[in-house]
Structure 1
Amino acid sequence: MDNSILLSIYRYVIEKGDMGICVVDTDGKLLIYNKKMRELEGVNEDEFEERRALEIIDFETEKSDIYKVLNSETPVLNVKKTYWNKKNQEVTYISNIYPLHYEGVLVGAVEFARDITQLEYMMYQPLRRYGAPLTFDIISAVSAVMKDVIEKAKIVALSRMPVVLIGESGTGIDMIAEGIHHDLSVKNDMFIALICRRDEDTILKHFEKYIVEKEKITFFAERIEYLSMAAQEKIVELFNNHPNHHHMLIASVGKDPIDLIQAQKLSKKLYRLFSGITIYVPPLRERKEDIMPFIDDYFKRHRDSFGSSIQGLSEEVQEIFLGYDWPGNLKELEVLLDEISSLLTNETVVDSHMLPAHFRWKIQYSYENGTEEKADLFIIKNPHDIRPLDVYMKEVEEYYISKALDFHQGNISKTAAALGIRRQSLQYRVKNYKLNKKSENID
Structure 2
Amino acid sequence: MKGNKENLLPFYKFATEHASVGIHAVDKSGNTIIYNEKMMEIEGLYLTDIRDRSIVELFQFEKEDSTLLKVLQTKKPIQNIKQTYWNQNGQEITTINDTFPIIEKNELIGAIEIARDITTLEKLMYQPLRRYGESITFNVITAVSEPMRKVIETAKKAAITKLPVLLIGESGTGKDLIAEAIHHSATPATENYMTFFCHKSDGSTVERLKKHLHTNDRSTIFCERIEYLSLELQKECLRLLEEHRQDSHLFIASIGGDPIDLIASGELLKELYYFFAAVSINVPPLRERKEDIQPFVADYLKRYEKRFGVKLKGMSKEVEQLFMSYDWPGNLKELEILLDDVMALVTNEEEITDELLPIHFKWKLQAYDASAKKTDSFIFQNDKELLPLDGYLRRAEEYYLNKVLNMYHHNITKAAEALGMSRQNLQYRIRKMKK
State the TM-score bracket (shorter-chain normalisation): 0.5 to 0.7
Query: Which residue identity does 1:291 align to in structure 2?
Result: I
What is the distance in 1 between the residues matched to 2:124 and 2:241?
29
SS in 1 for 2:223: strand
Shift of 1:237: 1.4
Work out the percentage of aligned pairs sharing the same amino acid: 44
Shift of 1:225: 0.4
Does 1:327 find its partner at 2:335?
no
Which structure 2 residues correspond to residues 13-412 of structure 1 after superposition, within 5 A?
A: 120-122=121-123, 127-129=128-130, 130-197=132-199, 199-364=201-366, 366=369, 367=372, 369-370=374-375
Shift of 1:371: 6.4
What is the distance in 2 between the residues matched to 1:125 and 1:370?
41
User: Can you list the C-alpha shifts for 1:220-265, whole angstroms capped at 9, x where unaligned?
Assistant: 0111001011111111212233444301110001111122112221
What is the distance in 1 between the residues matched to 2:373 and 2:120?
39
Q: Go from structure 1 to structure 2 and tell me whether the alpha carbon gap of 1:360 and 1:243 turns closer, same or farther (over 3 Å shift).
A: closer
What is the distance in 2 between the residues matched to 1:131 and 1:117?
23
Contact 2:301 2:311 in 1 (8 A): no
Shift of 1:213: 1.4
Query: Which residue identity does 1:339 align to in structure 2?
Result: D
Contact 1:310 1:346 in 2 (8 A): no
Q: Which residue of structure 1 aligns with residue 425 of structure 2?
A: none
Q: Point out the more displaced range, 152-161 or 122-131.
A: 122-131
Contact 1:196 1:224 in 2 (8 A): yes
Query: Which residue identity does 1:353 align to in structure 2?
Result: E
Query: Which residue identity does 1:293 align to in structure 2?
Result: P
Q: Go from structure 1 to structure 2 and tell me whether the alpha carbon gap of 1:302 and 1:371 turns closer, same or farther (over 3 Å shift).
A: farther
Contact 1:127 1:330 in 2 (8 A): no
Using CA pairs under 8 Å that are at least 6 residues apart, name the structure with larger relative contact order, 1 or 2: 2
TM-score after normalising by structure 1:
0.56
What is the distance in 2 between the residues matched to 1:308 and 1:371?
46
Shift of 1:158: 0.8
Shift of 1:369: 4.8
Q: Which structure: larger Rg?
A: 1
Unaligned runs of 5+ in 2: 1-17, 23-95, 97-115, 379-430
Shift of 1:314: 0.5
Give the alignment's Cα RMSD to 1 decimal: 2.9
Shift of 1:316: 0.6
Shift of 1:372: 6.6
Contact 1:166 1:255 in 2 (8 A): yes
Contact 2:21 2:117 in 1 (8 A): no
Q: Go from structure 1 to structure 2 and tell me whether the alpha carbon gap of 1:233 and 1:119 turns closer, same or farther (over 3 Å shift).
A: closer
Q: Go from structure 1 to structure 2 and tell me whether the alpha carbon gap of 1:183 and 1:161 turns closer, same or farther (over 3 Å shift).
A: same
Contact 1:232 1:267 in 2 (8 A): yes
Query: Which residue identity does 2:337 align to in structure 1?
Result: V
Q: Go from structure 1 to structure 2 and tell me whether the alpha carbon gap of 1:223 and 1:359 turns closer, same or farther (over 3 Å shift).
A: same
What is the distance in 2 between the residues matched to 1:139 and 1:126?
13
Query: Which residue identity does 2:151 align to in structure 1?
Result: V
TM-score after normalising by structure 2:
0.57
Q: Point out the more displaced range, 290-299 or 259-268.
A: 259-268
